[in-house]
Structure 1
């Protein structure tokens, strides 16, 4: 079903009107419509089976990233996040990129890594050779441990062996076996852990050492997704700034982040502002993706920018974001959490690879939104205007009074809880 991610005036609608718009747009079933309308989120009995010591559930606002055109297809992107301005910023940039032809993405095969740690080998090089000599047998043994994955077209595909801490290290020398597994549409943690554990006795026998850890790596550098965009400068123009000035400011901001880890951390946090909400909304492990993304940002020896921004020969702004994406569309909370299931129906992705491509496009949009704000009016103007509603509520405002107090905070440029409380006292008189 083809849908348009352009819904003009969506932010002006009431929540009820937005829900009705979604139900009509996606032709939701009665069950899905009821889920959205009545917000039957995570039942406590389900939560009690998901983690330990459950005492309740914790909700986040669920918003929609609009205007996204990715590889010629429109996406409405569910985003679960508590911070104001994130959804608005991503949607704003998506509209600009849409006018420039949309985002273009690609993804590698979904190869995840399982690690087996071996210590105490009498001769590490001989142990390495012995394991490599039996590589095909080990791959087959791993696949025998999880035949259902092989039946779906995935499974262990290769095996690599490394020796680390060889000389001059203060740590013990060890041999590390990497099992490379195509996890299809699963994130694959349980699959890979099962495979690695099944190989441990064989690896011990071949190496003459002792196996300790056998677990997946969240540094999924064989499971990458990349998004790019090319934006003519005239689409970047803002009040008081030409498109060329904005373009050059974004490039300079990127170069700052690429050169300085202190800036890169905040720069990349802004990228994850877009990525994490989609991962959370779809029931995926945002900690795993975060860890892998930050490691990838330091792959050349210094922590640096996850994105790159440059000007091409025609003067266009060119952006790129490539990251590991250890996520899935089956298993885990993705198909257990009621709102995650609904998020997939809104997102309409057919595979984990497609989900990964959408997510990096959102991350790239979020980064440009932050950089464009920083190099023009500054980040606070738009962010604090949206934050003013949270400040008004923190001061005790409810109903229509929230917007009244928020507007006065913005007009006074005093977006503080203390000032909001003072305004509340005046209204109470």
Structure 2
């Protein structure tokens, strides 16, 4: 099928050195794009379509769409569409993915796509009695919250509920009802909000309270994805550093981010350089995912690193093991994934089923609630696993640089091109001026303008 990765490799030698036209041709062949779809890579959406997506439109704001290469995820090759303006992000992810191939690539998993719809209850006379009454009426409440026939037909819909008591808030005590909604391939904001609004009157009647807010929570901690990787120390060997030195440095850097929230903030920002780029390319709500993940990072009372990197084994058998787990509410149907042509192309490049059909295989002994490498997922859950792998790769690239040459060397080399363009360089002059700035070790706009005048 178009977009399938079976029998192909994402290891494309010298992909970054190819011309723009060559790279587009490779991606078009990889994803089985039509001529019209290939044109979308350059043109994206028109002004008329943009005017239908948001309010007060006056134009369009374009961003580069790069391809993260070399990704081997659960034994399958992927080329990763990444919409990002920051230099070195795509290169870093691709480099780390190549390192991961020295092992078995990335292994991933995810939970069922459960979103939380919250209903705030105020003026409840007896909180304990109301909580018992609400839980005793669970079946009736969930039936009332079952508002999407399409999602229900696909095996989703309301799955359960819980009641939380907040005894001491500035507005007095509150009961908070959580409805657990399986949203299948949708991100689920509309489904969760509709379910909360539909169930609120019945919950008011049962509890004797007054319903306040009825809305989803973006802390989707029941909808998580994770990625793991293990790489032999020798894969990190270079002329300047031994692999064992590098992986120890990576583990020490991660320990710093676990212990210190100031470092953790920058550490996690680097993860989202990759996560957000894929979310944006596929038309997903990166703001919601970031909000939930940052809350997840602070769930123990202190903001910490989202990743865990540590060294296993000893001597020549040492390996670096990394894991990233975070809430990831993403969709492959609805919203911008349907209305934005570039998002549909990005999903096609990933080989995902944009029609929302999911497959699930339990041949490996897995269950639908804990999907792993052999799950056969093709929709939103598979996308969440891919995103987690990209986030882990991005973090590995950053920590490797920090543990060796420092983050600026590679970043500024790529930044030099942006400076050349800002100075007015075009065509071949961009690379010429960027190369001179790098050689001089002075990547400044003023110097780029001087070189352009020479």
Q: Same fold (TM over 0.5)?
A: yes
1:84 matched residue in structure 2: 87
What is the aligned residue count?
Answer: 421
Alignment match of 1:368 (pick from 365, 373, 396) = 396
Alignment match of 2:38 (pick from 9, 33, 39) = 33
Shift of the alpha carbon at 1:133? 1.2
Q: 2:33 and 2:151 mapped to 1: Cα distance?
A: 32
Q: Does 1:149 align with 2:117?
A: no
Q: Does 1:255 align with 2:283?
A: no
Shift of the alpha carbon at 1:33? 3.0
2:368 matched residue in structure 1: none
1:382 matched residue in structure 2: 410
Q: 2:400 and 2:148 mapped to 1: Cα distance?
A: 48
Q: 1:300 and 1:388 mapped to 2: Cα distance?
A: 41
Q: Does 1:333 align with 2:336?
A: yes
Q: Does 1:19 align with 2:43?
A: no
Q: Which moved more, 1:279-288 or 1:204-213?
A: 204-213
Shift of the alpha carbon at 1:28? 2.4
1:7 matched residue in structure 2: 12
1:163 matched residue in structure 2: 165
Shift of the alpha carbon at 1:34? 3.4
1:399 matched residue in structure 2: 427
Alignment match of 2:112 (pick from 93, 109, 118) = 109
**Structure 1 counterpart SS, 2:145:** helix
Write the mapping of 1:242-391 to structure 2, written as runs, cut at 5 A: 242-313=242-313, 314-349=317-352, 350-391=378-419
2:359 matched residue in structure 1: none
Write the mapping of 1:224-239 to structure 2, written as runs, cut at 5 A: 224-239=224-239
Q: 1:156 and 1:111 mapped to 2: Cα distance?
A: 9
Decide whether the 8 Å contact of 1:40 with 1:338 is kept in 2.
no
Point out where structure 1 has 5 or more consecutive residues left out of the alignment.
none
Q: 2:200 and 2:28 mapped to 1: Cα distance?
A: 51
Decide whether the 8 Å contact of 2:67 with 2:82 is kept in 1.
yes
Shift of the alpha carbon at 1:233? 0.2
Q: 1:255 and 1:171 mapped to 2: Cα distance?
A: 40
The two structures have a TM-score, normalised by structure 1, of 0.96
Decide whether the 8 Å contact of 2:229 with 2:321 is kept in 1.
yes
Post-superposition Cα deviations, 1:348-402, rounded to whole Å, max 9, x if no partner, equal: 1221010000000000000010000011000010000000000111112112111
Q: 1:238 and 1:332 mapped to 2: Cα distance?
A: 46
Q: 2:121 and 2:414 mapped to 1: Cα distance?
A: 53
Post-superposition Cα deviations, 1:275-333, rounded to whole Å, max 9, x if no partner, equal: 00000000000000100111111111100000000011242100000010011100000
Decide whether the 8 Å contact of 1:219 with 1:324 is kept in 2.
yes
Point out where structure 2 has 5 or more consecutive residues left out of the alignment.
353-377
Decide whether the 8 Å contact of 1:6 with 1:67 is kept in 2.
yes
Alignment match of 1:69 (pick from 56, 72, 79) = 72
Alignment match of 2:124 (pick from 121, 124, 131) = 121
Decide whether the 8 Å contact of 2:275 with 2:388 is kept in 1.
yes
Decide whether the 8 Å contact of 1:67 with 1:91 is kept in 2.
yes
Q: Which moved more, 1:121-130 or 1:108-117?
A: 121-130
